Amino acid sequence: MKKLNQTHHRASLIPLLLMLTIGLAHAQRDISREIVVYFKSGVQRSFDGISSRITSSELATELARFQLDSSAIEPAFPKFKEADTLKTLVDGRLVGQANFTKIFKVTVPNSFTVDEVLKTMKNRKDVLFAERNGRVTFDSDPTDIYFGYQWNLKKIKAPEAWEIFSGTSNTKIAIIDTGVDTLRGSAD
């Protein structure tokens, strides 16, 4: 039994070390210098999804004003496939989804302000949206002042489960809850 425990401890260190390494590599990135841009045209990502290329000479000229070239533009969702923009519903209808292959992270050089580049990108016809990149933070403990009233979470023993495992930074879950409109009787 002692040998089994030693093996288990060694094996459990591998994911921990991997998470620390990934975290350090990600921590070195300064997202405050990044903007996220949806290029309707003018920029394409490579077939492997990792790099990009500027296909519009007019856009290339505009970006060059800010010392930006394709090396400063990387796909925001490198694993997203363009085929994923069509989804078949249970009833067989096809529904169009957002094309995440057109969303890129642009790293702004220190010689310019992020706001300068952001303003220029927002005013372009070939850009659907441009905004600052941000980092999402999460709370492992509920910050909801009404948590004590959520009997269903107590019934499934959620707080006890959080004592065992409160998640990993590799898994992201977002809950967007605008509440219930009591006048209409439906969720927003």
Beta strands in 58-117, from DSSP E residues, in sequence order: 73-75, 86-88, 94-96, 103-107
Each residue's pLDDT tens digit, 146-161: 877 888 887 888 777 7
Alpha-carbon distance 27 to 44, whole Å? Answer: 27
DSSP state of 72: G
Residue 72 is encoded by which pair of tokens? 């400063």
Each residue's pLDDT tens digit, 68-82: 999 999 999 998 888
pTM above 0.85, yes or no: no
